[in-house]
Structure 1
Amino acid sequence: MKIATFNINGIGSRLDRLLEWLAESKPDVACLQELKSPQARLPLDAVRKAGYGVVAFGQPSWNGVAILARGREPIETGRGVPGLEADPQSRYIEAVVDGVVIGCLYLPNGNPQPGPKFDYKLDWFRRFNAHARELAACGLPVVLAGDYNVVPTDADIYNPASWRDDALLQPQSRAAFADLLDQGWTDAIRACHPHRVPYTFWTYWRNRYARDAGLRIDHLLLNAEAAPMLRGAGVDRDVRGRPGASDHAPAWIELAMPDG
């Protein structure tokens, strides 16, 4: 099973790029972030015409997440992080696909920091980690995929010097991600690329994609049941370089599913 995560940075303006990538890469599951569309205006018919069932959690102008499954319907098991039911921001959706629990998340950016946006990021992260702990122990294979808006270490960024004040690199953000991994989650991309992890995000500024001045903020985490199934992971870097592209590239893993 190929499972991908892709912050598409606006499904309305980048639908053609999304459909192009789906046709080329053929992920069995695709987790999307930053749909930036109200629920009623999501182009779900176009996604279904491309061969994907879909569950989505939209929001006007900002945020928004979705889970796509090739040739079948994802079974939605939740939307929104427990404890944040009153939160108006659409940042988390969960579904089961072929016995695998898929959590798709768009963690708050947190800038500028310090301030209320950073406080919201850390609170959201804390509540998400509490939910992740329950998922880790559910007995089923679980994949938590999405834009975490965290650069876990200095090895995950081209040059940390100019980003030291950014919320993505703050010690509190990194500590929250480390706390998540300490629950027993496997960082699939790092596991498959231990010497040099591929980047997943390049800003539109200062020709950073062409210079490969990137960051790794899109992650796929596997619980103890899913980790032994991991067979490969990578990033479709070239997607970022196409006309009208998102500032993220799709990241993906491949899992060996049990027979039957």
Structure 2
Amino acid sequence: MQLATWNVNSLKVRLQQVLDWLEANPVDALCLQELKLDHDKFPLGAFTEIGYHAAWTGQKTYNGVAVISRQPGDQIIRNIPGFEDPQQRVVAVTLPFGDQTIRVICAYCPNGQAVDSEKYAYKLSWFRALTQWLAQEKASHQYVSILGDYNIAPADEDVHDPVKWEGQILVSPLERAALKAVMDLGFHDAFRLFEQPPKSFSWWDYRMNGFKRNAGLRIDHVLLSGSLVPHCTACIIDKGPRGLEQPSDHAPVIASLKV
């Protein structure tokens, strides 16, 4: 089984890129972030035509997430239960996993804008709510994976220039502590289960030739419950789509699981 995550930065703009990618990489589930579409504008038919199902929650202009899957998902949850939030950032589905099931959660975590902003405070409160809910999800499901754009680089090795970025948004101590709180529930970073090339990133700024210079951050993650770690055989970043014309600023991350 292969699970992938990709912040597409507008599904309307990059629908064909996503369809082409799925044709070349027929993963079992693809978690998309930043759909930037009203809920009723989601192009379900385009995915149905190529043999996929979808669960999504949309929002005009901003946010929006989806799980595109080979098998239909059930027990669908949209957004964090008990956390009142107009921003559409979470969708969760349960999918077949061998003769059992796996809970797949797609998350588009807040950016935070700047460490002294209201959006930063919102980001931290959002992560607290996420962590509380994930504890419940983990207690209810044997296998859980949370995939998405976390907007946090966990460590300095995930930053192209740690000195330049020190204390800034996406790498600040409080943000990293928020991500660690999620990990402390018993989740593991699939990418770091394996030896990886240095300077491996999943996001590059459009400005200043960020991708050409590999001036990026690793902020897109596949987190696995401890029960899934023995099943994980690989995790890679596919930089190919970032080199396309009119690309998203993010690249897909793919984890392979042995059922």
Give the structure 2 partner of residue 180 of structure 1.
182
- Structure 2 distance, partners of 1:50, 1:2, is 17
Aligned CA distance change for structure 1 residues 182 and 196 (closer, same or farther; 3 Å): farther
Correspondent of 1:91 among 89, 92, 96: 89
- Point out where structure 2 has 5 or more consecutive residues left out of the alignment: none
Report the TM-score when normalising by structure 1: 0.94
Note the C-alpha offset of 1:117. 0.2
Give the structure 1 partner of residue 117 of structure 2.
115
Does residue 63 of the first structure (1) align with residue 84 of the second (2)? no
Give the paired residue count: 255
Give the structure 1 partner of residue 73 of structure 2.
74
- After superposition, the CA RMSD in angstroms is 1.3
User: 3-state SS of the aligned residue for 2:13?
Assistant: coil
Give the structure 2 partner of residue 256 of structure 1.
258
- More displaced 10-residue stretch of structure 1: 171-180 or 135-144: 135-144
Give the structure 2 partner of residue 43 of structure 1.
43
Note the C-alpha offset of 1:76. 4.0
Q: How does 1:7-22 map to 2 (within 5 A)?
A: 7-22=7-22
- Structure 2 distance, partners of 1:139, 1:80, is 18
Note the C-alpha offset of 1:135. 2.2
Give the structure 1 partner of residue 144 of structure 2.
142
Is the Cα–Cα contact under 8 Å of residues 167 and 173 in structure 2 kept in the other structure? no
Give the structure 2 partner of residue 203 of structure 1.
205
Is the Cα–Cα contact under 8 Å of residues 4 and 254 in structure 2 kept in the other structure? yes
Is the Cα–Cα contact under 8 Å of residues 102 and 141 in structure 2 kept in the other structure? no
Does residue 242 of the first structure (1) align with residue 236 of the second (2)? no
Is the Cα–Cα contact under 8 Å of residues 136 and 185 in structure 1 kept in the other structure? no
User: 3-state SS of the aligned residue for 2:55?
Assistant: strand
- Structure 2 distance, partners of 1:245, 1:127, is 32
- Structure 2 distance, partners of 1:219, 1:193, is 16
- Structure 2 distance, partners of 1:223, 1:178, is 14
Note the C-alpha offset of 1:113. 2.3
Give the structure 2 partner of residue 222 of structure 1.
224
Q: How does 1:148-187 map to 2 (within 5 A)?
A: 148-187=150-189
Note the C-alpha offset of 1:22. 0.7
Note the C-alpha offset of 1:195. 6.5
Note the C-alpha offset of 1:96. 0.7
- Structure 2 distance, partners of 1:112, 1:43, is 33
Is the Cα–Cα contact under 8 Å of residues 139 and 225 in structure 1 kept in the other structure? no
User: 3-state SS of the aligned residue for 2:217?
Assistant: coil
Note the alpha carbon deviations across 1:108-128, whole angstroms, 9 max, x for none.
000122121000000000110
User: 3-state SS of the aligned residue for 2:215?
Assistant: coil
- More displaced 10-residue stretch of structure 1: 119-128 or 194-203: 194-203
Note the alpha carbon deviations across 1:74-97, whole angstroms, 9 max, x for none.
22431111221x311000000011
- Structure 2 distance, partners of 1:183, 1:246, is 31
- Structure 2 distance, partners of 1:76, 1:7, is 23
- Point out where structure 1 has 5 or more consecutive residues left out of the alignment: none
Aligned-partner residue type, residue 158 of structure 2: D
- Structure 2 distance, partners of 1:250, 1:171, is 26
Note the C-alpha offset of 1:193. 2.9
Report the TM-score when normalising by structure 2: 0.95
